[in-house]
Amino acid sequence: MPYAHRNAPGRLAIALVAWLATCVSLHAAAVQAKPATQHWVATWGQSMTSNYARVTGSDGKPERDAYGQAVERAPTVDHFTLRQRVNVSAGGERVRIRLSNYFGLAPLTVSAARIALAANGAADPSAIAPGSDRRLSFDGGKRSITLAPGSEVVSDPVDLHMPALSNVIVSLYFAGSAQLADVHPMEQARTAWAVEGDATRAASLAHKTAATSLPGDHIYLLEGVEVEAPTGTRGIVAFGDSITDGAYASAAGTTWPAVLARLAQRHGKGAAVVNAGISADELSIDQVGAPGAGMAGLKRYLRDVVDRPGVTDVVVLFGANDINRGIDPAGYPNGASAGDLIASMRMLADVAHQHHLRIYAGTVTPFAGFPGWDTPQREAVRLRFNRWIRHTGAFDGVIDFADALKGAYTPPPLIARLSPRPPGMAAICAGDAGLHPNDRGYAVMGTLAYDALFHAKLRPSQACR
């Protein structure tokens, strides 16, 4: 009895510890079992290309270094503010930005950064909405950040009520010298302003002194805007060349990815859409000496698509540039074979599925009306490639852009002699002679993409035939 009495407190303590451990375990299991209600998703983004160009002397010849190599340089600006305006797709209450120095050969220091909503209806597109300005920090509260060459950085989250489809302004201040090595060359309107000094807090840049003659219809360094959204929000990346980028669209909101985003919001679908198109880009090969055309789609696929936060779906539309000037079997830029394009698309599908993404393939749109592009050989490649896309089964869905855009067109003289005449892009849906769509054509494409991704049966207000 004394023995039992002497050990009773010990047994009680052991039981108490065991009970507490069980409670902690059950609580931890409950926390783990509780599903997260929010996650980060890219609500706006564009693909960066190299902003380097060869430097020429007063004689027009390329400058060379001590080793005889041509000198290449990106624009460099000192002590300035870079303000940029972009249009997001999905909205939310917490946001962050992603900056890129992927193509940089030197460190890039951002001294200050801010984000705000654009002022609705303001005559000055650089103006911010009163009360919406927020300071951004990095790496857990730091005001400034240095991006190493070849890197990117994500800001700390900040609370900001950001409505869906709203215009957002990001202001970056560089106290020292900044080399703008990363750029997206094509925008449908002015998107960037560079002024002297720290003007990140300025309500407007309309009367500020310009710091440089940088083109204002580009995006520099800003790779993405990300929002905290419900876990069911789909992240869609449109991946392609100039037709995805929006060549000949009248505004950023009339490209086919923007039409897709607008329809998703209008019909209550939780979706964010990123446009990862680059004009003149090819799927299978880099274009030597044309840095603005971007690296091959195969090489940028992981960075521009798979690694985007929250991505669930990718829509791929590539092939026209490859068919026109890709590398042929002899190694010359006379046009890629259908076999090369098929092999490249298989890789995209395999990688997407390895990362549990849905992938939709768009058929290559007709270009018979565009002088200098269409030959019987190239048309044969396009038809074979499209036939494979429609019937392979390698994708989660097929979006038949080619069929939707074809229609009556005026053929060039050589094409007019062919019988049967190859299909061309409908003139009423073409922004040029028959290679790129106009707003009407993009509306058709965006509606078709929406129907494929959301199993809907919408019809565009105006078809192409």
**Residues with Cβ within 8 Å of residue 150, at least 6 apart in sequence:** 101, 102, 103, 104
Q: Where are the alpha helices (DSSP H) in 156-303?
A: 242-245, 256-266, 297-301
Question: CB of 54 within 8 A of CB of 153?
Answer: no
In this prediction, residue 340 carries a pLDDT of 96
Of 140, 170, 166, whose CA–CA distance to 155 is shortest? Answer: 140
User: Phi and psi dihedrals of 316, rounded to 5?
Assistant: -105, 130
In this prediction, residue 58 carries a pLDDT of 84
**Residues with Cβ within 8 Å of residue 249, at least 6 apart in sequence:** 188, 255, 431, 438, 439, 442
**pLDDT, one tens digit for every residue, the chain (465 residues):** 443 343 444 554 444 444 444 444 544 444 444 457 899 999 999 999 999 999 988 888 889 988 989 899 999 999 999 999 999 999 999 999 999 999 999 999 999 999 999 998 888 999 999 999 999 999 999 999 999 999 999 999 999 999 999 999 999 999 999 999 999 999 999 999 999 999 999 999 999 999 988 999 999 999 999 999 999 999 999 999 999 999 999 999 999 999 999 999 999 999 999 999 999 999 999 988 899 998 999 999 999 999 999 999 999 999 999 999 999 888 889 999 999 999 999 999 999 999 999 999 999 999 999 988 888 999 999 999 999 999 999 999 999 999 999 999 999 898 898 888 999 999 999 999 999 999 999 999 999 999 999 999 999 999 999
Question: CB of 156 within 8 A of CB of 137?
Answer: yes
Domain ranges of the chain: 46-52+73-222, 232-454
3-state SS, residue 15? helix
Prediction pTM value:
0.91
DSSP H/E element including 379: helix 376-391
In this prediction, residue 35 carries a pLDDT of 54
Q: How far apart are CA 108 and CA 455, in angstroms?
A: 45
Strands 358-362 and 397-399: parallel
Fold of the domain built from segment(s) 232-454: Rossmann fold (3.40.50)
Q: How far apart are CA 45 and CA 294, in angstroms?
A: 15
Decide: residue 345, CB within 10 A, 0-12 exposed, 13-18 middle, 19+ buried. Answer: buried
Phi-psi region of 456 (alpha: psi -120 to 50; beta: other; left: phi over 0): beta
